[in-house]
Structure 1
Amino acid sequence: MMKSVVLLATLVCVSSAFPEFTVDVLRKELSEFGSGNFESNVVELAKTLKLNTLVELITEADIAEELTGDLTVFGPTDDAFEELPKGVMAAIKNDVQMLTDVLRYHILGTEVHFNQLKKNELLLPSLLKSTSVRINTYGELTTATGSPISKPDNIATNGVIHVVDRVMFPIPMNDMLTLVSNNANFSTLLKAIRVSGFADTLKGGPYTLFAPTNEAFDKLPPGTLGKLLGNKDELFKILSYHLVNGTVGIVEIPNYIAMMKSVVLLATLVCVSSAFPEFTVDVLRKELSEFGSGNFESNVVELAKTLNLNTLVELITEAGIAEELTGDLTVFGPTDDAFEELPKGVMAAIKNDVQMLTDVLRYHILGTKVHFNQLKKNELLLPSLLKSTSVRINTYGELTTATGSPISKPDNIATNGVIHVVDRVMFPIPMNDMLTLVSNNANFSTLLKAIRVSGFADTLKGGPYTLFAPTNEAFNKLPPGTLGKLLGNKDELFRILSYHLVNGTFFSAELKRVDKVKTTTTDDITIKISSGELSVNDKATVIIADAATTNGVAHVIDTVLLPPNVVFQLVMTNA
C-alpha cells in the first residue's frame, strides 16, 4: 500500500542495520509479486502488462487525463475482450458514451489492494456513477463482478491494477426485479413473480437467479403453466427453487450444479437472455462434464453403465428392481473393484439369494435426491429404500463416507436422481444396535457376560460409538485367573470396557488416516496399519472391520485392551 516510488525507496532502506535489505532486493521481490515498474502510471503500467486492448480503448475514449489520484483498475486481458460477442464489442466501440461507461466501471476512485478484497459480497463504488463492483470469494478464487482476478497487485505511481480474465459487462445498473421487468423475454416469468408474491423476495439478496425465458415456460406440458398460475404457494416454491443465496458467477457454476433439477432445467433456464449469447448450453455441458457425469439424458441405471459400474448394473438386472427405480433417487454405487473385494463366500451368498440381493441393493439407494453438498453433516442418518434402515454419513476432513464406504466420485446427475460412486460395498447392513450385535454372536459370549456384569449394557444403548470388540479367544489370552477377578470387580470391568469404546463413528477408512483415538475413559489408544491390517496399541489386531450397527460401528479384535494402570495392577496381582 505504498504511495509512490519515493516512499518505497526511502522506507526500505530504514537502517544501516539491514544493509542486505536494498531497493534492488525489494524490486526483485516485488517483480515476482506484481509489476516491477514503479515509475509508471496506471495507463503506462497497463502497456507493460500487455493489456493492449484496454490501453487502446482508454485512448479512444480519451479518459487517460482523468485517471489521476489513487486508483484501482480491474484490467481485462486482451483475450477477455476477444471473448466478448462481436456484436457487443462493436456496439461498445461505436458508442463513445457506452465505451466510457464500461471503462469507468472497471475503475475505482480509491486504491484497494488484493488483501482488502477477501470479504465476500463486498461492494466497491466505481467511477461510473451509481454503480459498484461486487467482490466475491470462492475459496482461493476471487472475482470482481464475476471476473476472476488472475494477476493482482500490480503497483503504479497512481494506483494498482488487478488483471482480470473477463470484461465486467453488462454493467449491473438495475436490481434483479427490474432486469426481469425490462426484458420482454421474461414476460411469463414476470407474471409468475407477480402472481406468487415473489417480487418482495427479489428485492433482497444478494442472490443468483436462474431465470427461465418465455420459451422455457412454453416447454412445460400443456396446461401446466395455467395450473401453476392458479396455485400461488406451489408457484412461489418453484420460483424459490430457481434462486440461490449469494452471488454465483459462471466461473463458480460447477460447484453449484447440484442445485439443478435436470438437463431440461439447465438447458432452458441458464440461457437467460440474448444479452449473454456466450453462455450457451454447450458451454454449460462442457462445465458439467468436468464436474460429474456429462450424460444428462440417462436414468440412474443407464448412467451407472456410463460410469462403468458394471457389477452394480448386473445385480440390479438380476434382482429385477430396475423398474421400481423411479422418482428422485440417490444411489451410492459401488465400483466393480468394491464388489471384487467382498469375500467370495459373501458375494456368492448375495447372488444366490434374491431377497438378500434385493435388500443389499435397496440399502444403497435413498428415496430422495441428496447431493454431495448436503452430505457435509457428520453422523447424518438418511433412510434407505430398505425398510427400517439408514445410511450413516460421516465426514472426516476431506473424506466423506456412506456407512463406512468412501465417496470417491460424487454428484453424477441422472434424469431421475444422482449417483455417488463409492469404493466399498455397504455390507453387512446395519440392522441392529451394538448390544444386539454382541448378543447375537456366540464369539462374543464372554464380552456379553462382562457387559452384563459391569452394567455396561445401558452405555451401549447410546451412541454413536465405535466399539473395539474382543472375541472369546481374546479374553482367553488374559493371564490365568484374571478374567475371574475382573468379573468380580464391577467398577474395574466397567472401566476396561469403556477403554474399548470411542465416541463417534470411526470406520476403517478413517482409522487408516489417524494414529490415535480417544476412548470414553479419555485415554488414547494408538492406531497403526501394517500390510493392510489395523492394529490397536501395538497388541490387538482388527480381524473384522466395519461391522456397522444402528448406533455406530464395531471392529472385532483378537486381544483385550487394557488401560496402563490396569496392566500394572494385573502384573502386581499375578506376580
Structure 2
Amino acid sequence: MRITRVSRVRRIAIAVVAAATLPLGLAACSSDDDSADQNESGAENAPEEETDGAEDGANAGTEEGDGMADGGASRAGEPFGPACSAVPADGAGSFDGMAQDPVATAAGNNPELATLVAAVEAAGLGDTLNSTADLTVFAPVNDAFAGIPQDDLDALLADQGALTDVLTYHVVGQRLAPEDLAAGTFETLQGTTVTVAGEGESWTVNDASVVCGNVQTANATVYLIDGVLMP
C-alpha cells in the first residue's frame, strides 16, 4: 500500500515537472521560429536595399558625367586668345552679338576691327563676304594696320585692285575649327595659300599670330591676327 502511494506521488511530481517545462519549451521553439523568420526577412530585404543604393549611385554618376560632358563640349567652342578680353562683353560687337550677323556686318560692330572694315568697304567686298557661306577670315586688328607706314596704307586703300588682293588673301573658302588648323596650308579666295602652324590655343598664320581665335559669325569663323598678310 505504501509502495502504491509512493508511486502515485512520483507520477504526480513527474507530471507537474513536465507541465512546468512544457511552456518553456514552446516559448523556446517560438523564439527560434521568430528568429528564423526575422533572418529570412532580413536576408530578403538586404539585397534589394543594396541594389537600390547601387542603382542610385550609378544614376548619380551618369548624371554627373552628362553634366561634365556638356560642360566640356560648351568650353570647346569658346573663343580663345589674349585679345579676346578686348571684345565687348555684350551688344552687337560681343561674341554673342557677332554670332547673329554675317561676317562683314559682325566685324563692323566690333571696335577692334574698325580699320579692316574700312578697307573692306573701300574694296567693295562687304556684300560678297556677307553672302558667301562657310568662310574662315583671318582678320587683322587695328594695331596690325598701325604697323604699316601711313603712306603705304593710304596707297593701298586707294588702289582697289591691290586692296582686293590683300583682303581676299585673308579669307579661306571653308569654315575651319581650331582642330582643322593643323592641316597647315589653305587656299585663299585670292588664289594663293596661307600657312598655319601651332597647336592648342597658340597659332600663327604666315608671320602673324592669332590673338583671338574661334570667333563665330553667322557665315564664318574668324581668327583675329596681329599682322596684315601680304600675298
Give the TM-score band, short-chain normalised: 0.5 to 0.7
Answer yes or no: is 1:359 the counterpart of 2:137. no
SS in 1 for 2:190: coil
Question: RCO higher in 1 or 2 (8 Å CA, sep ≥ 6)?
Answer: 2
Structure 2 CA distance, aligned partners of 1:106 and 1:376? 43
The aligned counterpart of 1:341 is 147
- Residues 334, 425 of structure 1: 8 Å contact kept: yes
Contact 2:182 2:199 in 1 (8 A): no
Q: 1:105 to 1:333 in 2, by over 3 A?
A: farther
Normalised by the size of structure 1, how large is the TM-score? 0.27
Q: Distance in 1 between matches of 2:201 and 2:137?
A: 21
Determine which of 187, 204, 210 is the counterpart of 1:383: 187
Within 5 A, what are the aligned runs for 1:3-402?
104-107=54-57, 126=58, 133=61, 144-148=64-68, 249-257=69-77, 293-295=95-97, 296-308=99-111, 309-325=113-129, 326-377=132-183, 380-387=184-191, 389-395=192-198, 398-402=201-205
Aligned residue for 1:145, secondary structure, equals helix
More helix by share: 2
In 2, Cα distance between the equivalents of 1:398 and 1:252? 16
Aligned to 1:424: 227
Give the drift of 1:146.
Answer: 2.4
CA distance in 1, matches of 2:200, 2:171: 24
Aligned residue type for 2:203: T
Whole-angstrom distance in 1 between the partners of 2:74 and 2:109: 20
Q: Provide structure 2 residue ranges, at least 5 long, that are not aligned to the other structure.
A: 1-45, 79-90
Contact 1:372 1:411 in 2 (8 A): yes
| 2:138 aligned counterpart, secondary structure | strand
Q: Does the 8 Å contact 1:331/1:418 carry over to 2?
A: yes
**Hey, which of these two has a bigger chunk of strand by percent?**
1
Instruction: Work out the CA distance in 2 between the residues paired with 1:145 and 1:397.
Output: 24
Deviations along 1:244-282, one digit per CA (max 9) or x if unpaired, are xxxxx2211224448xxxxxxxxxxxxxxxxxxxxxxxx
Distance 2:175 2:117 in 1: 19
Q: Is the 8 A contact 1:394 1:404 kept in 2?
A: no
2: CA distance, partners of 1:345 / 1:395? 33
TM-score after normalising by structure 2:
0.63
Percent identity reads 26
Structure 1's unaligned 5+ residue stretches are 1-62, 68-99, 108-125, 135-142, 149-248, 259-288, 430-575
Distance 1:410-1:335 versus aligned 2 partners, 3 A rule: same
Aligned length: 168
Runs of 4+ in 1 over 3 A off after TM superposition: 103-106, 255-258
Contact 1:328 1:369 in 2 (8 A): yes
1:349 and 1:422 map into 2 onto residues whose CA distance is 22
